[in-house]
Amino acid sequence: MEQNATSPSNQGHPSNLRRVAIDPISRVEGHGRITLLLDDENHIHEARFHIVEFRGFEKFIQGRPYWEVPFLVQRLCGICPVSHQLAAAKAVDQLVGVERLTPTAEKLRRLLHFGQTLQSHALHFFHLSSPDLLFGFGSNPAQRNIVGVLDKYPELALKGVKLRKYGQQVIAAIAGKRIHGTATVPGGMNKILSIAERDALLVDIKDILAWSQDALALNEQIHTANPEHRDFATIRSNFLSMVGSGGELEIYHGGLRARSASGATIFDQFDYRGYQQIIREEVRPWSYMKFPFLIELGKEQGWYRVGPLARVNNCNFISTPLAEAARKRFREFGQGGFVHDTLAYHWARMIEALHCAEAIYMLLHDDEITGTDLVADLGEKRREGIGVIEAPRGTLFHHYQIDEEGLITKANLIVSTTGNNQAMNESVRSVANEYLDGHEITEGLLNHLEVAVRAYDPCLSCATHALGKMPLQVELLDADGALLDRLTKGSNGMIERTL
């Protein structure tokens, strides 16, 4: 924790507000910061969640051949690389004129994505968030981590480690390695799943199903047994997600559905290739992550939430029985309406983890999964491709244009976490006003703000695919142009010699 009474934030605040920063936010993936401005009585004047990193992907991808993109772009995010690879691959399929994959290729892609979602959800709960939920939001920070959970609840923590491991093994069987493997080719997949590989995955699937049920039961119990969890960081919002053609939960391919906080349909089964007609992204000066909104509702009202809470609320049903039974209990908890509780993200996430385990079980028992027909016939080349997928953290958009040689000329990504940008800010404000306002700020109270952000499972690593602000740099050159000295003004306002 850094408290800095003379920070530059005070400038322009005649009332001399004090700045408190949580920097970095820990137990999330990527780089984020929360800042508070407080007066002498500790009343909150401003609470913000900033993304402080910028990458510039939309620019530096330009000029690269389209077939390279899935493997480049997955390096935005080492937690959900498969989701990026698949969203890009779906766009690439359009570039090469493929409407429909072979049955085996489509099933392999689905299996790959279920493995990805299972491992990501397990990682988020067990490795990152469970310490808050098991030990308490204001508990001892030295214990509040996966090592503490391994100490206190070894059996539970080990199940979490193995759930994540299994998801990674599914990925490795299809993509060659656990992180940044290669699986897709334009119009299909590059490798079969051998019978031996399939059989190896079958060995543990029963345990995985059982442990996913345990993880769900634990999260369901934590949420329903703690009334204070209902209101913590809770906001009412619109929800956006993909659904299947029957309105079922769908994470690989379907139409877009948006519903308002009260459940009214804003649009449904919308073809995502037209996303520019429904979504725009606002830039605000204090974050590198943009703020998307539904055009129909406008900048003020049009923000929404994505991810497990949105998907489980938005779908009509889940196609696998255990997860569907869990969804019904979730729905009952919401008394037939949407569950807006921010902490219910954890519960919804574990419903999805169970769905992934069930879906993996079914795909491994499907004979077509070991088929050998992997690539569809390529059609007429096109200049534009738009791939959308439900990544673990929410709806992920990849959009590319190419020139006649197949080199990228334009790229746009709306990464999942961006979808929750406004919501995370709203939740941070809600917790700041409810729990911190007027109190002496302690480490435990500050962790409450991080608990609110963590519920969304933000991946700030891929949220920062854009680039940031200009460094102020002065260079002294001699008559021949050789660099003699260089001064740089840092983010803290200090001028440093950086030669």
Partner 1 sequence: MSKIRIATTSLAGCFGCHMSFLDMDERLVALLEHVELNRSPLTDIKHCGPCDIGLVEGGLCNTDNVHVLREFRDNCKILIAVGACAINGGVPAMRNHFTLRECLEEAFLNGVGVENPQIPNDVELPLLLDKVRPLHELVHVDYYLPGCPPSADEFLSVLGDLLEGREPALPKKLLHYD
**Residues in 143-182 at the binding interface with ligand SF4, rule: CB under 6 A:** 180
Residue 270 corresponds to which tokens in the numbers above?
A: 């919308």
Nearer to ligand SF4, 253 or 465 (CB): 465
List the beta strands (DSSP E) in 178-278: 184-185, 188-189, 238-243, 255-259, 265-270
- Which residue, 330, 304, 307, 305, is CA-closest to 317? 330
Q: Which residues lie closer than 8 Å to 33 by C-beta, 6 or more apart?
A: 21, 22, 23, 24, 25, 49, 50, 52
The answer to whether 190 contacts partner 1 (rule: CB under 8 A) is no
- Contact between 69 and 402 under an 8 Å Cβ cutoff? The reply is no
Question: Phi/psi of residue 343, each to 5°?
Answer: -70, -15
Stretch of 28-36, 98-106, 206-214, 255-263 contacting partner 1, by CB under 8 A: 28-36
Residues in contact with ligand SF4, shown as a per-residue x/- string from 53 to 92 under the rule CB under 6 A:
----------------------x--x--------------
* Residue 249: DSSP 8-state: B
The answer to whether 208 contacts partner 1 (rule: CB under 8 A) is no
Residues in contact with partner 1, shown as a per-residue x/- string from 274 to 293 under the rule CB under 8 A:
--x--xxxxxxxxxx-x--x
The answer to whether 152 contacts partner 1 (rule: CB under 8 A) is no
Minimum distance, C-beta of residue 461 to ligand SF4, in the bound complex (Å): 9
What is the size of the binding site for partner 1 (CB under 8 A)?
A: 97
Nearer to partner 1, 30 or 244 (CB): 30
Nearer to partner 1, 126 or 361 (CB): 126
The interface partner of residue 258, options being partner 1, ligand SF4, none and the CB cut-off 5 to 8 Å by kind, is none
Helices (H), 30-102: 57-60, 69-73, 81-95
The answer to whether 107 contacts partner 1 (rule: CB under 8 A) is no
Minimum distance, C-beta of residue 382 to ligand SF4, in the bound complex (Å): 29
Minimum distance, C-beta of residue 168 to ligand SF4, in the bound complex (Å): 14
- Contact between 382 and 97 under an 8 Å Cβ cutoff? The reply is yes
Nearer to partner 1, 214 or 366 (CB): 214
Distance linking the first and last C-alpha atoms of the chain: 31
The answer to whether 297 contacts partner 1 (rule: CB under 8 A) is no
Minimum distance, C-beta of residue 78 to ligand SF4, in the bound complex (Å): 5
- Contact between 410 and 62 under an 8 Å Cβ cutoff? The reply is yes
- Contact between 317 and 331 under an 8 Å Cβ cutoff? The reply is no
Other CB atoms within a 10 A radius of the CB of residue 494 amount to: 8
- Contact between 51 and 288 under an 8 Å Cβ cutoff? The reply is yes
The answer to whether 322 contacts partner 1 (rule: CB under 8 A) is no
Nearer to ligand SF4, 74 or 425 (CB): 74
- Contact between 235 and 423 under an 8 Å Cβ cutoff? The reply is yes
Nearer to partner 1, 8 or 337 (CB): 8
Minimum distance, C-beta of residue 386 to partner 1, in the bound complex (Å): 10
Contact residues for ligand SF4 (CB under 6 A)? 75, 78, 180
